[in-house]
Amino acid sequence: MMTDVKMFKSVKELIARCEAENKAIHEVMLEQEMAVTGMTAEEVYTHMDHNLQTMENALDEGLAGVTSKTGLTGGDAVLMKQYIESGQSLAGNLVLDAVSKAVATNEVNAAMGKICATPTAGSAGVVPGVLFSLKNRLQLNRQDMLNFLLTSGAFGFVVANNASISGAAGGCQAEVGSASAMAAAAIVEAAGGTPQQSAEGFAICLKNMLGLVCDPVAGLVEVPCVKRNAAGASNAIVSADMALAGITSRIPTDEVIDAMYKIGQTMPSALRETGRGGLAGTPTGQRLKQQIFGD
């Protein structure tokens, strides 16, 4: 148990502590988790390993093929996997592998399967999709993968406490946007980048998804949620590569998070998980709602 740990509340404080103590982000997050929960490091890792196993199980289930009860989603992860195996892909196998795994996970969520919210159920595919696609490329062992989750969690902690991770409160930018940025930051660290580069990757990634509305057709976490996890996974990898290349965000990370929060506050309620606006409000969206729920 650790009781004298100085808590970080912003990305700036997190990075400053990493640099002052010469620690990786996951190490600082581990210490904070121990201080908050009273758990030992071994207990924290055991808990995280359970989460990781849940992610892996969901991913495998989705890649084997699932369909939601409404029939709105399902089978796309299998189609993407087959497309990759055809050798005809344009985007490259690593990115599309992340896409297939992200979609697989979220299809399991739509089919009422067991997933690990990262940070929410509707955005649960991004972090594991990216992580498991990079496992071999970065030669990550089990401990490395757990540290990846801790790094993701460190940034998610800041977002949750300074903005929002709720689609109902801040739109899909707060869900898939946050998940994508969390994954980008963790990729950078896993690939050998500095804590500051992780912050840059996070900022670049989240900026790319600012203003993204939450407009689930029929109010269900299926359309367009599943495919947005695919976009989030690819966005995370590209943003991480930009940060590792030395590209920086002109707007500091904490200011990007604050901008997301303010955008969410001004977003019409019809575009915040009510199933009334955006894609949910299209003729086809309304027809599907009537088809599923009737009059």
In a domain, 150, yes or no: yes
In a domain, 1, yes or no: no
Check if the beta carbon of residue 235 is closer than 8 Å to that of residue 205: yes
In a domain, 155, yes or no: yes
Q: What is the 3-state secondary structure (H, E, C) of 191-226?
A: CCCCHHHHHHHHHHHHHCCCCCCECCHHHCCCCCHH
Residue 111's closest CA among 233, 220, 217, 273?
Answer: 220
Neighbours of 170 (CB within 10 A): 26
Residue with tokens 């299209």: 282
In a domain, 187, yes or no: yes
Query: What is residue 3's predicted lDDT score, i.e. its pLDDT?
Result: 54
Report the domain count for the chain.
1
Terminal-residue alpha carbon distance, the chain? 56
The length of the chain, given as a count of residues: 295
Residue 234's closest CA among 137, 44, 131, 98?
Answer: 98
SS3 at position 32: helix
> What is the extent of the structural domain holding 58?
12-286
In a domain, 191, yes or no: yes
CA distance 159 to 169: 13
214: β partners: 272
In a domain, 224, yes or no: yes
CA distance 186 to 190: 6
pLDDT in tens, the chain (295 residues): 455 678 899 999 999 999 999 999 999 999 999 999 999 999 999 999 999 999 999 999 999 999 999 999 999 999 999 999 999 999 999 999 999 999 999 999 999 999 999 999 999 999 999 999 999 999 999 999 999 999 999 999 999 999 999 999 999 999 999 999 999 999 999 999 999 999 999 999 999 999 999 999 999 999 999 999 999 999 999 999 999 999 999 999 999 999 999 999 999 999 999 999 999 999 999 999 999 999 7
Check if the beta carbon of residue 106 is closer than 8 Å to that of residue 224: no
Query: What is residue 5's predicted lDDT score, i.e. its pLDDT?
Result: 76
Residue 187's closest CA among 231, 220, 138, 121?
Answer: 138
Residue with tokens 């590792």: 244
Q: Cis (ω within 30 of 0) for the bond into 128? A: no
Neighbours of 112 (CB within 10 A): 10
Q: What is the CATH number of the domain that holds 72?
A: 1.10.4100
In a domain, 93, yes or no: yes
74: β partners: 67
Q: Which residues of 254-279 are buried (b: 16+ CB within 10 A; e: fewer)?
A: bebbebbbebbeebeeebbbbbbbbe
SS3 at position 260: helix
In a domain, 5, yes or no: no
